Amino acid sequence: MLEVRDLAKRFGAIEAVKGVSFSVGMGEVLGFLGPNGAGKTTTMRMITGFLPPTAGSALVGGHDVAREPVAVKRLIGYLPENAPAYHSMSVTGFLQFVADVRGLRGKSRATAVDGAIQKCRLETVRHQTIGTLSKGYRQRTCFAQAILHNPQVLIMDEPTDGLDPNQKHTVRTMIKEMAHEKAIIVSTHILEEVDAICTKAIIISNGRIVANGTPAQLRARSATGRLDDLFRELTLGGPNTTRTEEG
């Protein structure tokens, strides 16, 4: 469903992403792990078409992100880090606005809005203005806009960052409930996210993939059997860390 081939991004003299390749199929949840500044967000922005790559390509449903951006955006739902929303709008009003932008009309628009509100557990606040919501409910509202058009690919950048344990549990449950019908990427630096929701994971450091496999395969690479120890070894290890492919 999603295939990334040697994707790279340079900002002047800075190489933010250095030839990243991976794929995500329908029914898979990929954890995209790395420390702050590793290149996670830049990669997400290239896949979603918000940034042009310096080199390489990304294909979504067979469509090239650079050559067919509109077709790609129809297939993608994107929840960026610190997702923006109009604080003066109600939850329902904001989702209706997003539905209009997506070209939904009439009954399809109403069904999509009501469905997203239900999936994201927003029924009790649907008439409340976004500016009065807690951070957890604001995050769920932005999650709702990402799934409003029932995308085949869902890309989320730090979806649980800053949420309390109950809010994190709710968001993770939402992701797991829709995982069977989508290809999902969750960019995060929270390692517990991997065991909670991911079927496979990538660790990126300094713009390069340094590990790629299932959670069990990654833990097996650590002498302690702990993902956090492997993460520290690979992201603090220096020049001898090498990229590995799944399997």
pLDDT in tens, the chain (247 residues): 899 999 999 999 999 999 999 999 999 999 999 988 899 989 999 999 989 999 999 999 999 999 999 999 999 999 988 878 899 999 999 999 999 999 999 999 999 999 999 999 999 999 999 999 998 899 999 999 999 999 999 999 888 888 888 888 988 999 998 888 999 999 988 888 888 899 999 999 999 999 999 999 999 998 898 998 999 999 885 444 444 433 3
- The amino acid that residue 101 corresponds to is V
Predicted TM-score of the model (pTM) = 0.87
Q: What is the pLDDT of residue 244?
A: 41
What are residue 27's phi and psi, to 5 degrees? Answer: 85, 0
What Rg value do the Cα atoms of the chain yield, rounded?
A: 18
CA distance 93 to 77: 19
Question: How many CA atoms are closer than 13 Å to the CA of 148, on its beta-carbon side?
Answer: 28
- pLDDT given for residue 237 in this prediction: 58
- Return the closest-CA partner of residue 2 out of 64, 71, 53, 49: 64
Domain annotation for the chain: domains and CATH numbers: 2-83+152-236 (3.40.50.300)
User: Which pLDDT belongs to residue 247?
Assistant: 34
Q: What is the pLDDT of residue 115?
A: 95
For residue 81, which of 161, 173, 174 has the smallest C-alpha distance? 161
Q: To 10 degrees, what angle do helices 106-119 and 165-178 make?
A: 130
* Three-class SS state of 102: coil
